[in-house]
Amino acid sequence: MLDIKTIVPNTPILKKHIIYYYFLKSEDMSTKIGFINYPHYVDALNIHTQAKINITDIGREVYYDPHARISSIYTCNKISFRQALVFGKYDIIGVLFHPLGMNYFIRTNLNRIFPEYFSDANQCWTDFSTQMSDIFRAINMEEKAALLDAFFLTHYQPFQLNQLSLIVDYILKYKGDITVHDITDTFGVNRRTLLRQFKTHLKCSVIEFIRIVKFRSAIDTFYTSNDKVSMTQLAHDNNYYDQSDFIHQFKKFTGDSPNKILKHLSLVGDETFFWNILK
């Protein structure tokens, strides 16, 4: 079982863009664990020490390698489920970003620096490997979190597209129960401009983002209902056309029906962020 610890950034400006840091560590060489994560509007940066990472068609495999240097993967999963397998001892630091959050810490646009859904993040900052090595050597999680705060504050820069931030907040506020026309009408933005900005800074279309927010809202509803809500009610509460529409959309994101997926999700940290832990 994954033992995941989380710490929220200590600085107000970082809290706006980083949900929390998470830490996973095991000294057990016989470890073989896996999990599936499903499309989300938040992105994650996973930093590994002494690990060899293989990217596969369906996710990634992590193997203990005592000679490996710092490696990192930025995960921007907006389309389909992805699987992660970990073999042997591991030490992982994760950073979970709010939508658009990573854009405040890079010098170019997100789509250019991370062309794939799993992308090498070592290239983002010239001092990254050295700084992360120091963080892994820190005595405890609190010290690691403080060093992560310092690292991201050093690389913080304002993000200029304030209207895009407002549009993202608008979609989240209404839990995806809006149309592209609602957005263009409310904000007076050109549809083509909207599509370009979402692709550039969120690595998905605006329609995909809306659908992901709606999908995650249904998962949150199920979790907060203590598993007692029916699929019909879940569809209704999240403004799907009907139960069949909800199941159809759910399968697109997860590869299976909500009845087979929802009860197997595990909460990661204190936020509504879930993984399906493989047995």
**Are 126 and 83 found together in one domain?**
yes
Predicted local confidence at residue 271, as pLDDT: 55
Q: Domain boundary at 154, 178, 202, which?
A: 154
**Are 11 and 149 found together in one domain?**
yes
Predicted local confidence at residue 213, as pLDDT: 95
Q: Is 279 among the domain residues?
A: no
Q: Is 125 among the domain residues?
A: yes
| Full residue range of the structural domain in which residue 177 is found | 162-264
How many structural domains compose the chain?
2
Helix axes 206-224, 162-173, angle to 10 degrees: 40
Q: Is 197 among the domain residues?
A: yes
**Are 41 and 59 found together in one domain?**
yes
**Are 32 and 166 found together in one domain?**
no
CATH of the domain at 212: 1.10.10.60
**Are 168 and 252 found together in one domain?**
yes
**Are 33 and 86 found together in one domain?**
yes
Q: Is 271 among the domain residues?
A: no
**pLDDT tens per residue, range 144-157:** 999 999 999 999 99
Q: Is 269 among the domain residues?
A: no
Average pLDDT over residues 74-102: 90
**Are 144 and 15 found together in one domain?**
yes
Q: Is 73 among the domain residues?
A: yes
**pLDDT tens per residue, range 229-243:** 889 999 999 989 899
Taking the C-alpha atoms of residue 159 and residue 83, their distance in angstroms, rounded to an integer, is 31
**Are 218 and 257 found together in one domain?**
yes
Give the SS3 label for residue 208.
helix
Q: Is 17 among the domain residues?
A: yes
DSSP lists the bridge partners of residue 75 as: 44, 118
**Are 70 and 126 found together in one domain?**
yes
**pLDDT tens per residue, range 94-123:** 999 999 999 999 988 888 888 877 788 888
**pLDDT tens per residue, range 36-46:** 888 899 999 99
Confidence of residue 225 (pLDDT cuts 50, 70, 90): confident
Taking Cα atoms as reference points, which of 55, 46, 52, 3 lies closest to residue 27?
3
Share of the chain above pLDDT 70, in %: 94
Average pLDDT over residues 130-159: 95
**Are 171 and 40 found together in one domain?**
no
- pLDDT of residue 212 exceeding 60, the answer is yes
Burial of 9 (0-12, 13-18, 19+ CB in 10 A): buried
Taking the C-alpha atoms of residue 121 and residue 176, their distance in angstroms, rounded to an integer, is 29
Q: Domain boundary at 154, 180, 211, which?
A: 154
**Are 126 and 88 found together in one domain?**
yes
